[in-house]
Homo-oligomer: A and B are copies of this chain.
Amino acid sequence: MTSRLESELHAQPAALRSFLTTGAAAAAAVRELAAATCGVVIAARGSSDNAARYARYLVPLVAEREVTLATPSLLTAYGAAPTVWRRLVVGISQSGRSPDIVAVLRDARERGAPTLAVTNDPASDLAAQADLILPLHVGEERSVAATGTYTASLAAVAVLAAGLAPEPAAEALLADLDRVPDLVERALGVDVDEAVEVFGASWRGVTVGRGVNLATAHEAALKLTELTGSLVTPFSPADLRHGPIGAVGPATPVLLVAPDEAASASVLDLRAELRERGAPVVVTGPDLPGPLPGLVSPIVAVVPAQKLAWRLALARGVDVDAPGGLHKITETE
């Protein structure tokens, strides 16, 4: 029987195409909503927080606006609200039901800030607090591990960035985005057999990414951890070198995320040192379909990592739709 996860993985190109049919219109709506703002605050958890990590690089790069990640527990544990003056406040939540993310948007709206919801459920509590909704067009995602909602959230972040960017950067980014669904489709065909073998030999691992693909390293680690039972930790090259690399050896497989992109050189530079330590190294980058525009590369680069996590979980006999006995919605405050 085909798992829901497998179906959702392979539905990504169609979901992205559907989302992008309204991409330019959504970017224009963002532009209007954000007209009086000079920065962005994003509240998110889990995979959505990794989409926010992408925004921290992409938005300053193309739109010269600062992105601050909200710390929802400031509000829910201490009652201290984030600064929202002249900020566009964005909540990213596939279900739209994370109470702490909803709380940040509700509070921002009460204080007069423009609010944007990126969610797969336009009827959710989160959407109800938003001046503008970017619906993810993914259909009901039923497996615990988010795949299609992650890549769609990245596309929504890129649309957000295009909405904030001046021309011609905005138009160029939207043109790059339009090429993404085909590239994702081809990335689904990437061979992950070797990576499955390498990561299958251990119950721990490391992922490394930088710049726009720091998000990819985080999401790859999260997918591997939640699906396979391995505990996988994400790092930037600098943070890995600052000490944790001492723990990396033959029993620690490493995934280097390095599409052809400005920030990838220092990720690839790690190869020699990792191999000296005896660590099995897998690189994703050269195997990706192309030409792959650097700024949207995270939407494509995560796909082989999703496939690796899925395939390794299958090899380990995991129920991939409910790994670790978990349910889909986690209502944390």
Contact = CB atoms under 8 A, between A and B. Distances in A.
A74 B60 contact: yes
Contacts of A245: 324, 326
A237 B332 CA distance: 8
A332 B66 CA distance: 24
A214 B325 CA distance: 26
Contacts of A291: none
A238 B210 CA distance: 24
A83 B251 CA distance: 42
Interface in A317-333: 323-326, 330, 332-333
**How many identical chains are in the complex?**
2
Nearest to A68: B68
A8 interface: no
B46 A66 contact: no
A106 interface: no
Interface of A: 39, 45-47, 49, 56-57, 60-61, 64-66, 68, 71-74, 77-78, 80, 82-83, 98, 100, 144-145, 203-206, 210-211, 214, 222, 225-226, 228-233, 236-239, 241-249, 251-252, 262-263, 266, 323-326, 330, 332-333
12 contacts: A45-B242, A61-B74, A61-B80, A64-B83, A203-B251, A204-B231, A222-B244, A225-B233, A228-B247, A231-B247, A231-B252, A242-B332
